[in-house]
Amino acid sequence: MRLLRFPGEAPAWTALLPRSQPAWLLPRRAWPTERLARKPSRVACLQPAGFFGVLAMLMLVGGTALAQGPTYGIGTTPTEENIRAWDISISPTGEELPPGRGTPEEGALVYRQKGCAGCHGREGKDGRAPRLVKREAEPSTDPWDLGRILPIRAPYATLVWDYINRGMPLNREGTLTADEVYALTAYLLFINDVIPDDAVMDAKSLPKIEMPNRDAWAPLPDWKPGMPRLQGYPY
């Protein structure tokens, strides 16, 4: 599909936007500094603001309901395998978790075999790398006061799995099998008193773990363009 474009103006595909597009897909007001930099022109409707404005009006009056298609036809389609190989983002509900399983006991072994202990110390303390086990504390202690230790502060256990999988062991990332990552996660959760020693971690059980900080964090504000950072903040 080839569409005509005004040089330097909004691509003509914007005319094809269906009416039901969410607000953020609508053409945005011109970038103010670019508007400032441009000499005043008498062809006002060719200025981005005016051009977009007219478009927006046209769409309100009776926009075409064409599906949005690619404009430039550049880029290639990855295969399902490509995507699976690259997609290492594990959501809080764990959809992306691969098959596999592990227990704290197996994890304790992997922790030594894979060199974790060499950097983080035996049982996650007294190593050169950050501590991985909370300090002794009353059971009533606010989890926020147990230190910045991933397997205790993370709101979701899936994050511990995700981090070990993508980032550890340092310098040899990507060398752990899924079973090993499940086992290491189980071990670290166990030494932090999050799970019992007989718990089995897999794609089903891991997302179900109630981390102490699960709901104890403040969600971010619903961000909109041109929004002050905190409503009601006087500065």
Partner 1 sequence: MGSTRPDRRRFLKGGAALASGLTVGAVEPALGQLPEPSTFIKGSDEMVAYGERSRFVTSVRIAHPPDNRPSPDEFGLVFHVASPLQDSVGMITPSSLHFVGTTRGSFVPEIDPREHRLMIHGLVDRPLTFTMEDLRRLPSVTRPHFIECAGNRSSPRHTTVQETHGMTSCAEWTGVLLSTLLKETGVKDAGKWIVAEGVEEVKGASSIPMEKAMDDCLVAYGMNGEAVRPQNGFPLRLLVPGFEGIFNSKYLRRVKVVDRYYMTYNDYGHLNREPERAALGYQIGPKSVITFPSAGQQLPGRGFYEISGLAWSGGGAVGKVEVSTDGGRRWMDAEIQGTAHRMAHTRFRYQWNWDGQQTELLSRCTDELGQVQPTRAQVAEFFNAPGVPGQDNSIQPWRIASDGSVHNAIT
Running DSSP on this structure, what letter comes out for residue 130? Answer: P
Backbone angles phi, psi at 182, to 5 degrees: -60, -45
The piece of 2-10, 40-48, 72-80, 126-134 that touches ligand HEC (CB under 6 A) is 126-134
Among 39, 57, 77, 215, binds partner 1 (CB under 8 A): 77
Residue numbers 127-156 binding ligand HEC by CB under 6 A: 129-130, 132, 148-150
Where in 119-138 is the site for partner 1 (CB under 8 A)? 128-129
51 touching partner 1, by CB under 8 A: no
- Residue 41 CA: distances (Å) to CA of 30, 44, 54, 137, 168: 15, 6, 16, 69, 57
Contact call for residue 45 and partner 1 (CB under 8 A)? no
The two structure tokens encoding residue 3:
């569409």
CB-side neighbour CA atoms (13 Å) of 5: 14
Per DSSP, the three-state class of 143 is helix
Closer residue to partner 1, CB minimum distance, 38 or 105? 38
Partner touching 184 among partner 1, ligand HEC, none, CB below 5 to 8 Å by kind: ligand HEC
* Total residues found in the chain within this entry: 235
* Cβ pair 199, 186 in contact under 8 A: yes
- Which lies closer to ligand HEC via its Cβ, residue 9 or residue 123? 123
The angle formed by the CA atoms of residues 159, 110 and 205, to the nearest 5 degrees, is 40
Q: Is 4 in the site for partner 1 (CB under 8 A)?
A: no
Asked if residue 114 lies in contact with residue 155, where contact means CB atoms within 8 angstroms, the answer is: no
Residue 193 contact partner, candidates ligand HEC, partner 1, none, CB within 5 to 8 A by sort of partner: none
Tell the smallest beta-carbon distance from residue 129 to partner 1 (Å): 8
Give the Cα separation of 105 and 186 in Å (integer): 8
For ligand HEC, the binding residue among 171, 208, 218, 222 (CB under 6 A) is 171
Q: Which residues bind partner 1 (CB under 8 A)?
A: 11, 13, 22, 24-25, 28, 31-33, 36-37, 68-72, 74-78, 82-83, 86-89, 91-92, 128-129, 144, 150, 153-156, 158-159, 162-163, 166-167, 170-171, 173, 213, 216-230, 233-235
